[in-house]
Amino acid sequence: MDPGLWTSFCILAALIFPLLDKSAYHQDVLVTAGIYILLALGLNIIVGYAGLLNLGYAAFFAIGAYTYAGLNITWNIPFWAALPIAGVVSCLAGFLVGLPVLRVKGDYLAIVTLGFGEIVRIVFNNLDPITGGPNGLLGIDQPTLWFPVFQSGISWREFDFGVKSAPFYYLVLASVLLVAYASVRMERSRLGRAWIAVREDEIAAGCMGIPVAQVKLLAFGAGSLVAGIAGTIYAAKQGSVTPDSFDFILSVMILAMVVLGGMGSVPGVILGGLVLSILPEMLREFSIYRMLMFGLVMIGMMIFRPQGFFGNTRRKYELKIQSIVDS
């Protein structure tokens, strides 16, 4: 099937899903999966495109969630106004972290970002007057929409998302489609090619005139922006945020989604996020062996299909060349 036709079919299926399946539980599971997919798409910019191993990505997710929670509870700023603010705050946090962190590479970069993720979680856990400490922040407002009604003139009515799953489903779906489209466009842009060049060989990229430090910072900032948006949607959906929702395990899970789907591949990352989000729900009856099965699947993927479900074309060639060199 033509890739464009297949993409259109998947989008159409996603759009009509709530009309075919009225189960609030199924829709809620897909909302959670969509938030994870958003995070995986953001991390894919950092890890898949630029090749920067980030093990503290949940920190930017937390920053976005707490930013919206604080703005909404303290100053009563609504969701739609706080959404870009939370994204920008997370983006700036990415830049600030990137300035000292990107001086190191490889395993050292992974260790430093892991430490940053834990520091952010511990700060939110202990900053009681601002973040509520271990209890978190409660009473966060859900999004609302205003729409016109034509009855004896024009009047406006308010639609509150409340605890309904369908509105959040379409909100998350629109966000995933927008971020996926932006990711594809960025990959094909001059900046995307610069990210790939830096990922392959920093020294060669620098010799060809690519500002390596700036390119890395842009990758960190773009990925953190997406995490901030996902955090805002998560806080609005849950109605509360607590520090234990943003632990190291979450960062590992998001990274696993990127690796499983295929680093640098947008369709692969979406599929990886969908599989690793829905699979635990399907395996609830086998909760004792759930992590064992998850580990075996990841090991099998690394052995038999290291490029992931839908490996990026460039990554396929890289792995093939690497196997030839090793042999």
Q: Which residue has the tokens 């199924």?
A: 26
| pLDDT class of 83 with cuts at 50, 70, 90 | very high
Q: Give the range of the structural domain holding residue 46, as residue numbers without chain letter.
A: 25-326
**Measured between alpha carbons, how far is 163 from 175 in angstroms, rounded to an integer?**
19
Please list the helix, strand and coil fractions of the chain in percent, rounded to the nearest 5, in that order: 75, 5, 20
Contact between 63 and 251 (Cβ < 8 Å): no
What spatial distance separates the first Cα and last Cα of the chain, rounded to whole Å? 35
- Asked whether residue 132 is assigned to any structural domain, the reply reads yes
Half-sphere exposure of 258 (CA within 13 A, CB side): 27
Decide if 60 is inside a domain.
yes
Judged by DSSP in three states, 5 sits in helix
Q: Is residue 2 part of a domain?
A: no
Does 60 or 129 have the greater pLDDT score? Answer: 60
Per-residue CA distances from 13 to 8, 243, 265 (Å): 9, 35, 21
Per-residue pLDDT of 126-153, as tens digits, reads 999 889 999 999 999 999 988 777 776 6
Question: What are the CA-CA distances from residue 2 to residues 5, 6, 7, 323 (Å)?
Answer: 5, 6, 9, 30
> What confidence category does residue 163 fall into, taking pLDDT thresholds of 50, 70 and 90?
confident
Given a cut of 60, whether residue 190 has pLDDT beyond it is yes
* Average pLDDT rounded to a whole number, residues 73-97: 94
In a domain, 134, yes or no: yes
CA 304 to mean position of chain CA atoms: 26
Distant-in-sequence, close-in-space partners of 91: CB < 8 Å, separation ≥ 6:
221, 222, 224, 225, 228
What average pLDDT does range 25-41 have in this prediction? Answer: 94
Express each pLDDT in 200-231 by its tens digit.
888 889 898 899 889 999 999 999 999 999 99
Q: Any idea which of 5-19, 96-110, 169-183 has the lowest mean pLDDT?
A: 96-110
Looking at the structure of the chain, the number of domains it has is 1
Q: Which residues pair with 159 in a beta bridge?
A: 145
Is 9 within a domain? no
pLDDT bucket at 181, cuts 50 / 70 / 90 = very high
pLDDT the model gives residue 286? 67
Distance CA 221, CA 229 (A): 12
State the CB neighbour count (10 A cutoff) for residue 147.
8
DSSP class of residue 242? -
Task: Return the percentage of the chain with pLDDT > 90, whole number.
Answer: 49
Indicate if the pLDDT at residue 45 is higher than 60: yes
Q: What is the DSSP letter of 145?
A: E
Q: Which of 99-103, 162-166, 199-203, 222-226 is least confident?
A: 99-103
User: Residue 246's domain is classified under what CATH number?
Assistant: 1.10.3470
Q: Please check whether residue 260 lies inside any domain of the structure.
A: yes
Query: Residue 154 corresponds to which tokens in the numbers above?
Result: 């024009």
Cβ atoms < 10 Å from Cβ of 306 = 16
Query: CA Rg, the chain, in Å?
Result: 20
Q: Is 129 a member of any domain?
A: yes
Q: What gap in Å lies between CA 21 and CA 27, rounded to an integer?
A: 8
Q: Is residue 174 part of a domain?
A: yes
* Structure confidence at residue 322 as a pLDDT band (50, 70, 90): low
41 neighbors 269 (Cβ within 8 angstroms): yes
Encoded tokens for 109 = 């970069």
